[in-house]
Structure 1
């Protein structure tokens, strides 16, 4: 946090993000307390349900489960962002020297405001998240105000919806704790991406081209990537599509036995994922969130195709080693993954 603070005012990012996200829906103290307790119970209950459905056995809950408000989620992700960009900041500082005086103050506050806007927008949307960057084993965050907001918006049964969300997020906790190499592998990919950044490429011409590409429907990660970065991004996209799709398959696969209204919830939730208004859709595109939605959809198709063809036990070969993770191309062509890994 100390080094990255030279580039980003994280306190400003967290405070501004919390203000932009807002407090969430109006709810009585008694209702809020009940929701928190139900989410905690749902997360605990989900552990066994995920294990029975997937065959993955997670370590004891060394990764804590936290039920947070929007400001808590924003603060946690400001801390996570600081951890992620620390190696990149160190690299830039070594090459260009650390900013000082007024330049440092103004620059860090501008960057803090930009990050704060992003966190504020996401902080009003995210239902839950496994944060793998929290030492030593990560942590599971459930954003109570957003869960309550969405269950009301969908007219969903609160108990069903809360357990459904818990199943998805607990699946992520299991993925990172039952698969011992997953966390470090993600770290290594993030580091590899940072190692490829060349400050000299961030020219005015490059940024102008990026803006033009965005107007044509691209996203920041895609349009500013070098060939080497695209290769890394393709690997990360394959990995994240697997993780998100697997969690979606689990939450729906477990669902019917314990969540009577799961089919209705899924149908309504898929419609909601497309964005609720013009501004929301524009922001989703610019921030690359449309690509994130594709990860859920395409990853779930990949997982279902292999489980239907080979069974869950065979599918679980995907967790054996990093080489067994699907590429971005294999996510779209499950048979190619089967031929490579299961043949």
Structure 2
């Protein structure tokens, strides 16, 4: 073993290998002609710009950031972008492989996870890349979803853009958000004495133990899957950081869900139909392999974030209006606490007085 490999942190991941692995494992997207592929990309790019105005009209959030089209990617393209973002977040140079003994196995496993997720992600805003972040839309996944749901394609693409553009507006109008999120991620990384193989093994054991257990203990599913297994073993500082990330994610997703439905009627004629079908699709049971991956990755807890987060935002906005709600973007102390997600009145009392 070389001195470099001996000194390598236990949790190091070869993210370049992860990206390559994901590209090899990713399933092909839906069949499309060259014309269709180009048309989908062009329309998504157009709508990602058009959606900015209705989003800002609903949110009342403004800034001087330029409105640029989303970057349209395929599944391997999303996996590469995700690996690059994770490399940046974890302080690992993407162009320099991690040590052989630890970085490569972890890279292979991370690549397998990214390969799976690349078939499910429709869009994503990354606040950590570029001066104003990067908005990605995964064209084959948009097409696969709209075909499966049999909805009006332009309406669905506009609906998706409303959600993802809301995330862009959240971060560009509140510059402290990205720094706050990165700080939480850095705190999580301070305590890490396991490599990815050990973490995956521990998570799998936790899933087997919990499959038949009562899952109603947490409104956000904090005891489920990867989230629950990690929370159970974190020191207090890291546990608090993870809970704070969950609260922030719940707010960001719930706010985006609220905005896409509030802005939808004016620009998405079939918004009610799409919402109904999309919610049903989220609840649908998957095959056993998909169930295992969903549980390990905390996907069901993520869905709970959408639902509970939207309920929180809907209730606060209905009681105090959007302008007063926007106090939530003023500073970290104004973000909802765990007990307030299910009790919006408590947030109103604490933050708005």
TM-score bucket (shorter structure) = 0.7 to 0.9
Equivalence for 1:83: 88
Equivalence for 1:11: 16
Equivalence for 1:305: 315
Separation (CA, whole Å) in 1 of partners of 2:101 and 2:130:
31
Q: State the aligned residue count.
A: 326
SS in 1 for 2:135: strand
Asked if 1 retains the 8 angstrom alpha-carbon contact of 2:187 and 2:241, the reply is yes
Asked if 2 retains the 8 angstrom alpha-carbon contact of 1:42 and 1:163, the reply is yes
The alpha carbon displacement at 1:61 in A equals 2.6
Asked if 2 retains the 8 angstrom alpha-carbon contact of 1:63 and 1:138, the reply is no
The alpha carbon displacement at 1:236 in A equals 1.1
What is the aligned counterpart of 1:130 among 125, 148, 171? 125
Asked if 2 retains the 8 angstrom alpha-carbon contact of 1:40 and 1:65, the reply is yes
Asked if 1 retains the 8 angstrom alpha-carbon contact of 2:187 and 2:237, the reply is no
The alpha carbon displacement at 1:209 in A equals 6.3
What is the aligned counterpart of 2:293 among 258, 283, 297? 283
Equivalence for 2:260: 251
SS in 2 for 1:260: coil
Separation (CA, whole Å) in 2 of partners of 1:108 and 1:45:
42
What is the aligned counterpart of 2:179 among 167, 184, 206? 184
The alpha carbon displacement at 1:211 in A equals 4.3
Equivalence for 1:93: none
Change (3 A) 1:232 1:8: closer
SS in 1 for 2:90: helix
Separation (CA, whole Å) in 2 of partners of 1:28 and 1:4:
46
1:50-71: CA deviation from partner (whole Å, max 9, x where unpaired): 0111100133237762011111
Q: 1:54-73, aligned counterparts within 5 Å? A: 54-61=59-66, 65-73=70-78
The farther-off stretch of 228-237 and 258-267 is 228-237
Work out whether 1:338 is the aligned partner of 2:331. Answer: no
Query: Which runs of 5 or more structure 2 residues have no equivalent in the other structure?
Result: 1-7, 212-223
The alpha carbon displacement at 1:201 in A equals 11
- Higher helix residue share: 1
Asked if 1 retains the 8 angstrom alpha-carbon contact of 2:22 and 2:111, the reply is yes
Equivalence for 2:154: 159
Work out whether 1:41 is the aligned partner of 2:46. Answer: yes
Separation (CA, whole Å) in 2 of partners of 1:304 and 1:312:
10
RMSD: 2.6
